[in-house]
Amino acid sequence: MLPNFEQALKELEFQHLRRQLRIVESSSETTITIEGRKLISMASNNYLGLANHSALKQAAIKAINEWGVGAGAARLISGTMRPHQQLEEDLAHFKQVEGALTFGTGYTTNLGLIPSLIDKGGLILADRYCHASLIEACRLAKATLRVFHHNGQDHLEKLLKKRTKNTQTLVVTEGVFSMDGDLAPLPDLLQLCQNHGATLVIDDAHGTGVMGPNGRGTIEHFGLNPADVVQMGTLSKAIGTSGGYVAGTTFLKEFLINASKAFIYTTAPPPAIAAAASTALQVIQQEPGRRQRLWDNRNYLYSELRVMGFQLTNTQSPILPIIVKSSETALKMAQALDKAGIYIPAIRPPTVPKNSSRLRLTISSEHRKEQLMFVVKTIQKIQKELKLA
């Protein structure tokens, strides 16, 4: 007998938690077409507009003509092609580390990284707001998992002090938190790790291309030495393509090639995606104006939302969440915005903690001022209509 899926879906519907796919009939730009209607999109992680950059498209087309569409096998069998090797060299250079290793997605990068770093008997201390892929990765590892308060250095220190001496320990966090847009206090966390002989693992999915004077990420933003930490990131957000990577020492890379199941037992990513991602890294370095426009847009929208009196998070990034608490209100707001021609998704549990449903706006360098002004005016109107804070 099959489980009662219909009943499970009805229950989700009742709690305003049922999710549904919407088909987008256009590329990921600042406007998207859904069900024949053009909407301003405030929902993409394509922070620098690179998913549609002509240089990336040309690089992918050229690579398809040369290398075909699929890699044909896992990297260790016959799937490692020149574009994969080139991308890893480019990532290592960009992240200022010895080596990088790429994976099929950011999600599988975490699944492939964390269980490889720690054995049974070890301890993983993860921030409570870590992304689902990190939490799943920690659970997949055979070590004990403990969660510390979000950005709670004191709590983390207590847990570090409490553990049995010489227990191998990973401290896992994000550079920029994906749902709140705030930053982890990386210098303090690194200091704690160094004092207690633990390894700091940072997911910089939302920091790469966005944070730091050269867009190298949150580690550059804080002026830390990348050699002191293990970092991973995605190619799917500011880099505009898809896939994930680990950046660190040559030994770490070689070790993962030998130990990481999510690397070993899966077909290599399409070589054209690797070629496009390499081009994205060049564009990020050659067109710093994109990052400047991103931050100008972000600062404009952030200050307008503050003036409106919404409850915002402690965001320090182009992720701007408006906390409305109830899932029903979040859905109502998203629907009203949709009607007015703006797409902002309602983010509800279990993606965020209970009673913290929100609208999550993500900003792009490519949003035009008129679009952002329209978003501000529309949110103001809906705020009045729904009698929100």
Ligand X SMILES: Cc1ncc(COP(=O)(O)O)c(C=O)c1O
User: At its nearest, how many Å lie between ligand X and the CB of residue 126?
Assistant: 12
Instruction: Considering the complex, state which of residue 236 and residue 260 has its C-beta at the smaller distance from ligand X.
Output: 236
CA-CA distance, 311 to 178, in Å (whole number)?
A: 17
- Is 139 in contact with 145 (CB distance < 8 Å)? yes
- Is 239 in contact with 280 (CB distance < 8 Å)? yes
Sheet holding 199-203, edge to edge: 99-103, 244-248, 230-234, 199-203, 169-174, 123-127, 144-148
What Rg, from alpha-carbon coordinates, does the chain have? 21
151 is catalytic: no
Instruction: Considering the complex, state which of residue 205 and residue 268 has its C-beta at the smaller distance from ligand X.
Output: 205
53 is catalytic: no
User: At its nearest, how many Å lie between ligand X and the CB of residue 47?
Assistant: 12
Pairing verdict, β 230-234 and 169-174: unpaired
In terms of Cβ atoms closer than 10 Å to its own Cβ (0-12, 13-18, 19+), residue 307 is: exposed
Instruction: Considering the complex, state which of residue 205 and residue 274 has its C-beta at the smaller distance from ligand X.
Output: 205
| Active-site choice (116, 178, 278, 357) | 178
User: At its nearest, how many Å lie between ligand X and the CB of residue 64?
Assistant: 21
174 is catalytic: yes
| Active-site choice (53, 84, 95, 206) | 206
| Active-site choice (53, 84, 131, 367) | 131
CA quadruple 161, 165, 167, 168: dihedral sign: positive
Q: Which residues contact 368 (CB under 8 A, 6 or more apart)?
A: 30
178 is catalytic: yes
203 is catalytic: yes
204 is catalytic: no
User: At its nearest, how many Å lie between ligand X and the CB of residue 106?
Assistant: 2
45 is catalytic: yes
User: At its nearest, how many Å lie between ligand X and the CB of residue 369?
Assistant: 27
Instruction: Considering the complex, state which of residue 52 and residue 380 has its C-beta at the smaller distance from ligand X.
Output: 52
Tokens 């080596």 found at? 99
- Is 103 in contact with 232 (CB distance < 8 Å)? no
List, as one string, the DSSP characters of 91-102.
Answer: HHHHHTSSEEEE
Find the angle CA(207)-CA(212)-CA(218) to the nearest 5 degrees: 40
Instruction: Considering the complex, state which of residue 234 and residue 278 has its C-beta at the smaller distance from ligand X.
Output: 234
**Shortest Cβ contact with ligand X: which residue?**
106
| Active-site choice (88, 174, 180, 204) | 174
| Active-site choice (203, 204, 287, 366) | 203
User: At its nearest, how many Å lie between ligand X and the CB of residue 233?
Assistant: 8
Instruction: Considering the complex, state which of residue 43 and residue 160 has its C-beta at the smaller distance from ligand X.
Output: 43
- State the residues that interact with ligand X by CB under 6 A: 105-107, 131, 133, 174, 178, 203, 205-206, 234, 236, 244
**Residues involved in catalysis:** 45, 131, 174, 178, 203, 206, 237
